A and B are shown apart, each in its own frame.
Chain A
């Protein structure tokens, strides 16, 4: 099994006034292709900071992070943007869809940003939307769709450019249990593809069963690497 993310002795501190507040402490972990990995822990434990660094959005104070074989912390800002565009798909808690764009246009955004012609990008977006059961809603605006449907558009947006890594931030937090389960089933299918890794940050214990592995964080440290059954029993 190939490694999607390799984190080695990662530290991150933020300056607050004259002080420096450490947020991540000597984190080392791996996320593998073909797996759905969950990152769990209480609020403020550093989950968001960690996925921001793994996504090339934040820089680290020290350590190394390799994503799909590339040491991204050495990239310039522009290289990080281009790397994200090509290799990472994002799913956010609040969907972050552009309200003026249709479902297909929203889903096509990463392709359009990469310079793919509008017609081809939209066709590809419609194909991906159809694969996740949204073929009837491709021309609808986000406000015309339910929360679950909007999150499916966000999933299509994350998958449309065939990224190797899907980063999901609380993908079910704004959804009811049934809808959240539907979203996780889609992500589970995505993770079954051996060329992709899915990393999910969540508080939602109802979805732990969809994980292959659960990384537990506390106070800026990885304190556990669990199989889901073991972790549910622990909880």
Chain B
């Protein structure tokens, strides 16, 4: 009876395509939106994970996420270094500031100041130039996407001059950094340069990056630093998740994505359920004839389930394929760089699509089971 179920399904091309469309649409919407949402959350944490050399971030207790900076007193660096178990601790600057290009236009950037000696916190992958160039006066390094954003339609090139608080800087290196939650260009300078060119204020140090001595766990060291200095000290993972939780709890982003995903599920389920229902209603006489001839309800159930599995698998495959193609096609665009289709998302969407498909056939199956085969005798 399997081939009969398949032939019945394929027999009406328009309805078959309608069913496939419903499932594909729901799959695409769910997989794409969930992936973008996860990508955005990952961007929140990418600035933290890009600093791979250190184990612990130390910051003001009021800091709730990576983009929120409460400056620390310079003496805190010494205090942290004095905590037992600290191998080394270096200052790290992070802040938003405006730059002016030679044509007079201004652009806001994320200024990152890294320790002059160790260069801890520097952009991990070089595209052009050398990271050590930051030790020179007036040298800066910009991330590739930031360069494209700042000078669109221009090829990547070193030597671009910018002005920052009446200080001249030269873009002497270009690197590839992970996209951050704020899409402003990343401009790396040495910590000393950052202190010189940022507006004067009493405290400027944003974070202290700490490495634990061998044999001491990052979590233990973070607790020790907090107990000793009263500052907030978090491991890389803890800080990343604190930043993500802040975005989840304090912004409308999850609600916005949630609504889109919810609508995808509802619309996909509605299209699929309605088309399945119409498919069954229009085939009632055929089902009735089969029941009269001697096809059992169990056989009909297996036929409808097989049809459902075919529709769900085809629609899911197409939807996931289209999602993967979308991310492949947009992987080099700054707006979508770093967004990927995770296998966990594929698994979750598969479960959702299975549920939608089963829900869709519930009403149809009831109709088939309750069907009186005597209708075949009614002309």
Residues of the B chain whose Cβ atoms lie less than 8 Å from the Cβ of A86: 294
Q: Judge if B290 is at the interface, Cβ distance under 8 Å.
A: yes
B254 within 8 A of A: no
Among residues of A, the one whose C-beta sits closest to the C-beta of B289 is A96
Residues of B within 8 A of A88 (CB): 294
Contact of B374 among A58, A78, A99, A105 (CB under 8 A): A58
In the assembled complex, the Cα of A81 lies from the Cα of B1 at a distance in Å of 16
Question: Which chain A residues lie closer than 8 Å to B292 at the CB level?
Answer: 55, 57, 84, 90
A64 within 8 A of B: no
Complex-state Cα separation, A78 to B7, whole angstroms = 26
Q: A100 to B10, Cβ gap below 8 A?
A: yes
Nearest opposing residue in chain B for A102, CB measure: B7
B294 contact set on A, CB distance < 8 A: 81-82, 84-86, 88, 110, 113-114
Nearest CB of chain B from residue A183's CB, rounded to whole Å: 17
A84–B293 CB distance below 8 A: yes
CA distance A84 to B289 in the complex (A): 12
Q: How far is the CA of A57 from the CA of B374 in the complex (A)?
A: 6
What is the number of contacts between chain A and chain B, taking CB atoms within 8 Å? 85
Q: Which of A50-88 contact B (CB under 8 A)?
A: 51-52, 55, 57-58, 78, 81-82, 84-86, 88
Alpha-carbon distance A109/B290, docked complex (angstroms): 8
B4 within 8 A of A: yes
Q: Which chain B residue has the least Cβ–Cβ distance from A114?
A: B294
CB contacts under 8 Å to A, within B282-310, are: 285-286, 288-296, 299
Q: Is A118 an interface residue, CB under 8 A from the partner?
A: yes
Which residues 363-379 of B sit at the A interface, judged by CB distance below 8 A?
A: 372-374, 376-379
Q: Is the CB of A112 within 8 A of B4?
A: yes
Inter-chain contact A113/B295, CB cutoff 8 Å: yes
A192 CB-CB contact with B under 8 Å = no
* A169 and B377 within 8 A (CB): yes
Q: Is B101 an interface residue (CB 8 A)?
A: no
Q: How many Å lie between the Cα of A51 and that of B376 in the bound state? A: 12
Chain A interface residue count, Cβ-Cβ cutoff 8 angstroms: 33
Q: Is B321 an interface residue (CB 8 A)?
A: no
Cα(A112)–Cα(B295), bound, Å: 9
**A218 contacts B by Cβ under 8 Å:** no
Asked if A85 and B377 sit within 8 Å, CB to CB, the answer is no
B379 to A93, Cβ gap below 8 A? yes
B274-288 interface mask toward A, CB cutoff 8 Å, 1 = contact, 0 = none?
000000000001101
Q: Scoring A residues 97 to 121 as 1 if CB is less than 8 Å from chain B, else 0, what string do you get?
A: 0111100010001101110001000
List, in ascending order, chain A residues with CB within 8 A of B343's CB.
Answer: none
- Whether A96 touches B4, Cβ cut-off 8 Å, given contacts A58-B374, A169-B377, is no
- Total interface residues on B, CB under 8 Å, equals 27
Partner of A118 from B3, B286, B291, B293 at Cβ < 8 Å: B3
* A57 to B372 CA separation, bound complex (whole angstroms): 8
Q: Provide the B1-21 mask, 1 if CB < 8 A to any CB of A, else 0.
A: 101100110111000000000
Asked if residues B293 and A85 are in contact (CB atoms below 8 Å), the reply is: yes
- Which B residues are in CB contact (< 8 Å) with A114? 294
A107→B151 CA distance, assembly (Å): 73
In Å, the complex CA distance between A55 and B10 comes to: 32
Given contacts A52-B377, A57-B373, contact A112 B296 (CB under 8 A): no
Query: Within 8 Å CB of B3, what residues of A?
Result: 105, 118
Q: Given A48-B378, A57-B373, A81-B296, are A105 and B7 also a contact pair (CB < 8 Å)?
A: yes
Q: Looking at the assembled complex, report how far the CB atom of A82 sits from the nearest CB atom of chain B, in whole angstroms.
A: 7
A9 to chain B, nearest CB (A): 22
Distance A183 CA – B300 CA, assembled complex (angstroms):
30
B48 vs chain A, min Cβ distance (A): 58
Q: Which residue of A lies closest to B10 (CB)?
A: A100
Give complex CA distance A48, B377 in Å: 6
Q: At the interface, yes or no: A157 with Cβ under 8 Å from chain B? A: yes
Residue numbers in A under 8 Å from B10 (CB-CB) = 100
Contacting pair B296 A78 (CB below 8 A): yes
Q: Once the chains bind, are B293 and A90 in contact (CB under 8 Å)?
A: yes
Q: Which residue from chain B places its CB closest to the CB of A100 in the assembled complex?
A: B11
Is A179 at the interface (CB under 8 A from chain B)?
no
Contacts of B288 in A (CB 8 A): 96
Minimum distance in angstroms from A176 CB to a CB of chain B? 18
CB distance from B13 to the nearest CB of A (A): 10
Q: Assuming the A-B contacts A57-B374, A78-B296, A113-B299, are A92 and B4 also in contact, with contact meaning beta carbons closer than 8 angstroms in the complex?
A: no
User: Can you pick out 30 interface pairs between chain A and chain B where the beta carbons lie within 8 Å of each other?
Assistant: A48-B374, A52-B374, A57-B292, A57-B374, A81-B291, A84-B292, A84-B293, A85-B294, A86-B294, A88-B294, A90-B376, A92-B289, A93-B379, A96-B285, A96-B286, A96-B289, A96-B376, A98-B4, A99-B286, A100-B7, A100-B11, A105-B4, A109-B4, A109-B293, A110-B294, A112-B1, A112-B4, A113-B293, A113-B296, A173-B379
For the complex with contacts A78-B296, A84-B294, A98-B11, 16 further pairs of A-B residues with Cβ separation under 8 Å are: A55-B292, A81-B291, A86-B294, A94-B285, A96-B289, A96-B376, A98-B286, A100-B8, A101-B7, A105-B4, A109-B295, A112-B1, A113-B296, A114-B294, A118-B3, A169-B377
